[in-house]
Amino acid sequence: DQQVKQNSPSLSVQEGRISILNCDYTNSMFDYFLWYKKYPAEGPTFLISISSIKDKNEDGRFTVFLNKSAKHLSLHIVPSQPGDSAVYFCAGGSGSARQLTFGSGTQLTVLP
Amino acid sequence: EPEVTQTPSHQVTQMGQEVILRCVPISNHLYFYWYRQILGQKVEFLVSFYNNEISEKSEIFDDQFSVERPDGSNFTLKIRSTKLEDSAMYFCASKDESSYNEQFFGPGTRLTVL
């Protein structure tokens, strides 16, 4: 079951540059998407979400873009900082309070 | 800042034994969840709980699993007879009513079944 896919297992970016993490989904019933960051030995930490009725949501250095026709979303981090190095998961959900379906994650490494 | 807590951080058990994983959700949250992540795999949904009953469960959540909210603060996951394939990180999450979709996760319990 690959309802949410993150095709890049890893990404390396220089400090100060933009990091772009991608996510594709197949379930048309998702009506919101979330990005989580995860450090080793910790639980996922919520970063930013977007409703399916929007195409962009911004919070500080983090912006999520949603292209519903392509069933694709991306997380942009600008500027990238070494502390951003972590595994990033995208997740989709349908209906309030219902389960989240996660992608497999992308390991982001920001090089100083 | 309020956070979800989980105990123990690591649990080692023999196959066939019962384990109880404990979670204290954020205090004003009303929706509770368990997820698990087998090493190298995705985070997978197990069960959600609201108003003292299960609202959703996945195929993974079979008769060997149960959840309980024994008091006003704890939320537990019990595995009656553990199998080797139950070895995973188990994450508890909670959500409040005002937030549409953000679930807040605990640090996880690493369960190792020998």
Confidence check: pLDDT of B90 > 70: yes
Lowest mean pLDDT among A41-45, B84-88, B103-107: A41-45
Q: Which comes out higher in pLDDT, residue B73 or A25? A: A25
**Token duo for residue A111:** 């090089």
pLDDT of A95: 76
- For residue B102, what is the DSSP state? -
pLDDT of A1: 60
pLDDT in tens, A5-44: 999 999 999 999 999 999 999 999 998 999 999 998 889 9
- Give the contacts of A1 (CB within 8 A, at least 6 positions apart): none
pLDDT of B99: 66
Check: CB of residue B94 under 8 Å from CB of residue B35. no
Confidence check: pLDDT of B100 > 70: no
pLDDT of A11: 97
- How far is it, in rounded angstroms, from Cα A59 to Cα A47? 9
Contact B103 A104 (CB under 8 A): no
The identity of residue B114, as a single letter, is L
**Token duo for residue B56:** 């959703």
**Token duo for residue B8:** 């123990």
Q: Does B10 touch chain A (CB under 8 A)?
A: no
Confidence check: pLDDT of A57 > 70: yes
- How far is it, in rounded angstroms, from Cα A101 to Cα B91? 14
Contact B100 A100 (CB under 8 A): no
pLDDT in tens, B10-66: 999 999 999 999 999 999 899 999 999 999 889 999 999 998 999 999 999 999 999
Confidence check: pLDDT of B98 > 90: no
Contact B42 A43 (CB under 8 A): no
- How far is it, in rounded angstroms, from Cα A99 to Cα A94? 8
Residues of A in contact with B93 (CB under 8 A): 43
Cis peptide upstream of residue B8 (ω within 30 degrees of 0): yes
Residues of A in contact with B95 (CB under 8 A): 97
Among B48, B104, B107, whose Cβ lies nearest the Cβ of A46?
A: B104
Among A42, A49, A98, whose Cβ lies nearest the Cβ of B102?
A: A49
The identity of residue A53, as a single letter, is I
